Each structure stands twice: as C-alpha cells, then as structure tokens.
Amino acid sequence: MSEIRSAVAAPVAVSSLRSAYAVAAGAAAAAGAAANASIVYSGAQDISINQFSSLNLNLDGDAYGDVTLKNYVFGSGNYMGATVNFFPGKLVSFFASAGSGYSYASALSAGFSIDASSVGPSFFGSMAYGSANPSAQFNNASNAYLGLSFASGANVYYGWVRVSVNQAAGSFIVHDWAYENSGAGIVAGAIPAPGALGLLAVGAPGLGLLRGRKRSA
C-alpha cells in the first residue's frame, strides 16, 4: 500500500534567506515587473519522497493539500508524477500528441512565467517513467521547477515547486516551493527579497486523487 505524507512549511523571513541564496543575474527584468508581488516562500525543505509513497504538499498552509507528488513503482519501472488536488487548479503541462489524453508535467527553468496563460491544459501529468513515457521531462532532472495554479477557498493562486528527480534510481526530492498570494502570476524560482523579487540561483546549496472544489478552512 502506498504511503501518503503531507508537508507544509511556515513562511521564511527575508533576512534568513540572505546567507543561503543569491539573486540570479537574469532575474532583474522579471523582478522589476513584479516588484509589488506578495510571495510566500517555504524555505529550504529537501524532502525525500520514498518509493511506493506520495507527498501531499500544502503550499498555502490551510487545511488542505494542494498538489500530490508521487514516487511509485509500476510494471514498467519507477514512476514519478504530479496531480493538483482541487478544481480549477492545473499544472504547467502538455499532451504528448493531439487528442491523446496523456499529459506530462513540464520541467521549467528559473524565470519561466507561471500565470493563467501558461498553466494547463491538465491538472495531472507524468514527470518520469523511463522509456514507458518517452516525452517525460523529469527523468533525470536537477533543480527543475513544476508550475501550477491551485485553489484556496474562492481564490486561485500561482506557484512553483523545485524538485530533483532520478527516475532510474527511484529518487524524488522536493527542495522548496513558493506561491504568489495576491492572485498574480509568479516566475519560477521567485522568492521574497528586500524591495523586489529575488530569484533562486540554480543549484543553490541546501536546497489520481479525486478532484473537487477546495473549501475554505
């Protein structure tokens, strides 16, 4: 039987981030455009999801998990996937081919814009499954980003989750996550920084469920 865990972290103060993270040079343009955004950041977590189990990740700290991250073993090998738990949330994702109905989560780079124009089309997607899912983008991913929208009461928020996946070894690590609590979009890797948005430097150290409408806690 699969183990299901939950994870939630309190926001981290900006001052505690200065020694661990640097503002990436390429973030300047994105930061300027969204200087007034309200980003809630988990801080470094580095949660390892064991095989045959999943992690029900609660981005906003309410009573409900927002996205389930899976590390399963099926007949064709190790499988990693993601599902946004509540309507109308979606992953930044794609279909392998038109009309196929089989969706994949997109592996994003730092700075990718996550908003209403980029999320979807699906609320779930394969991340890694070796040769069984040849279009999967997380088979051997280091510090890649999942992008998503998720419901919180009557609101829809946009966020990211930074992960490292080694499909062959069966390892799945969730490094950290953040979301924008005003309902505006967010760029992958954006964190709070004094007077503007920061962007995590890539490689910084330390670093299906039934769907329904998410109720207010």
In a domain, 94, yes or no: yes
In a domain, 210, yes or no: no
In a domain, 177, yes or no: yes
Q: Which of 184, 151, 161 is nearest to 42 (CA)?
A: 161
97: containing domain: 3-202
Per the structure, the count of domains in the chain is 1
User: Cα–Cα distance between 206 and 4 in angstroms, integer?
Assistant: 24
In a domain, 216, yes or no: no
In a domain, 215, yes or no: no
What is the per-residue pLDDT for 67? 98
Confidence class for position 40, pLDDT limits 50, 70, 90 = very high
204 pLDDT higher than 90: no
Mean pLDDT value across residues 37-59: 95
Q: Is 14 exposed, middle or buried (0-12, 13-18, 19+ CB in 10 A)?
A: middle
Which amino acid is located at 164 in the chain?
Answer: S
96 pLDDT higher than 50: yes
Query: How many CB atoms are located within 10 Å of the residue 77 CB?
Result: 16
Q: State the sign of the Cα–Cα–Cα–Cα dihedral 109, 207, 55, 182.
A: negative
Query: What is residue 97's three-state secondary structure?
Result: coil
In a domain, 212, yes or no: no
Query: What is residue 202's three-state secondary structure?
Result: coil
In a domain, 31, yes or no: yes
174 pLDDT higher than 90: yes
The residue length of the chain stands at: 217
In a domain, 209, yes or no: no
pTM for the full model? 0.77
20 pLDDT higher than 50: no
What is the per-residue pLDDT for 193? 76
Mean pLDDT value across residues 142-151: 98
Confidence class for position 194, pLDDT limits 50, 70, 90 = low
